Chain A
Amino acid sequence: MSLDTVAKAQANPDAVQPFAELGLKPDEYASIKEILGRRPTSSELAMYSVMWSEHCSYKSSKVHLKQFGEKAVKSDALLVGIGENAGVVDVGQGYAVTFKIESHNHPSYIEPYQGAATGVGGIVRDILTMGARPIAIMDPLRFGPADAPDTRRVLPGVISGVGGYGNCLGLPNIGGEVVFDQTYLGNPLVNALCVGVMKHSDIKLAKAAGAGNLVVLYGAKTGGDGIGGVSVLASETFESKGPAKRPAVQVGDPFVEKVLIECSLEIFAEDLVVGIQDLGGAGLSCATSELASGGSGGMKVQLEKVPLRDPSLSPEEILMSESQERMCAIVEPSKIDRFLEICKKWDVTSTVIGEVTDGTKLEITFNGELIVDVPPRTVAHDGPVYNRPLAQPAYIDEVAKEVINPPLPTTASEIKDTILKVAATPNLADKSWVTDQYDRYVQGNTIQSQPDDSGMVRIDEKTHLGVAVATDANANWSYLNPYEGAKLALAEAARNIATAGAKPLAVTNCLNFGSPEDPGVMWQFAETVRGLADGCLEMGLPITGGNVSFYNQTGTVAILPTPVIGVLGVIDDVRTRTPMSFKDAGLELYLLGATDDNMSGSEWAYIHGLRGGIAPIADLAREMRLIDLLVAGNKSELFTAAHDLSQGGLAISLIEMVLRHNVGATISIENPGISLLSETPGRVVVAVKSTKVSELESLATKHSIPLAKLGTTGGVALVINDSVIPLTELSAAHTETFKKLFG
Chain B
Amino acid sequence: MKIGVVTFPGTLDDRDAARAVRHAGGQAISLWHDDADLKGVDAVILPGGFSYGDYLRCGAISRFSPVMEPLIAAAKGGMPLLGICNGFQVLAEAHLIPGALTRNQHLHFLCTDQKIRIENNNTAWTSSFSKDQEIVIPLKNGEGSYQCDDETLKMLEGEGRIVARYIGENPNGSRNLIAGISNERGNIVGLMPHPEHAIDSLTGPGEDGLGFFTSVLQSMISGGAK
Contact = CB atoms under 8 A, between A and B. Distances in A.
Given A160-B109, A163-B109, A441-B204, A254 B13 contact: no
Given A437-B111, A441-B194, A444-B197, A575 B53 contact: no
Given A168-B53, A443-B15, A444-B16, A346 B9 contact: yes
A725 B15 CA distance: 45
A255 B11 CA distance: 10
A447 B53 contact: no
Given A444-B196, A574-B202, A575-B202, A258 B10 contact: yes
A253 B54 CA distance: 11
B53 A444 contact: no
Interface in B14-72: 15-16, 19, 34, 49-50, 52-55
A436 B139 CA distance: 10
A440 B111 contact: yes
Contacts of B34: 345
B203 interface: yes
A210 to B, nearest CB: 32
Contact of A168 (B50, B108, B194, B196): B50
Contacts of B16: 441-444
Q: Place the interface of chain B in its size category.
A: 20 to 34
Contact of B9 (A347, A435, A574): A347
B152 interface: no
A575 B109 CA distance: 30
A354 B113 CA distance: 51
B109 A255 contact: no
A504 interface: no
Given A441-B138, A441-B204, A253 B53 contact: yes
Interface in B152-204: 194, 196-197, 202-204
B112 A436 contact: yes
Contact of B111 (A438, A458, A461): A438
Contact of B108 (A160, A169, A253, A441): A160
Identify which of A253, A345, A436, A447 gathers the most chain B CB atoms within 10 Å of its CB.
Answer: A436
A436 B110 contact: yes
Given A167-B109, A259-B10, A441 B140 contact: yes
A170 B109 contact: no
Contact of B49 (A170, A256, A436): A170
Interface in A110-167: 160, 163-164, 167
A445 interface: yes
A259 B9 contact: yes
Contact of A436 (B13, B19, B111, B194): B111
A28 interface: no
B144 to A, nearest CB: 13
A439 interface: yes
B10 A441 contact: no
Nearest to B32: A345
B166 to A, nearest CB: 15
Contacts of B53: 168, 253-256
A437 B108 contact: yes
13 contacts: A160-B109, A167-B50, A167-B142, A168-B10, A168-B53, A255-B54, A256-B53, A345-B34, A437-B111, A443-B16, A444-B203, A447-B202, A461-B19
Going nearest first, the 4 A-B pairs with the smallest beta carbon separation are: A255-B53, A170-B12, A441-B197, A444-B16
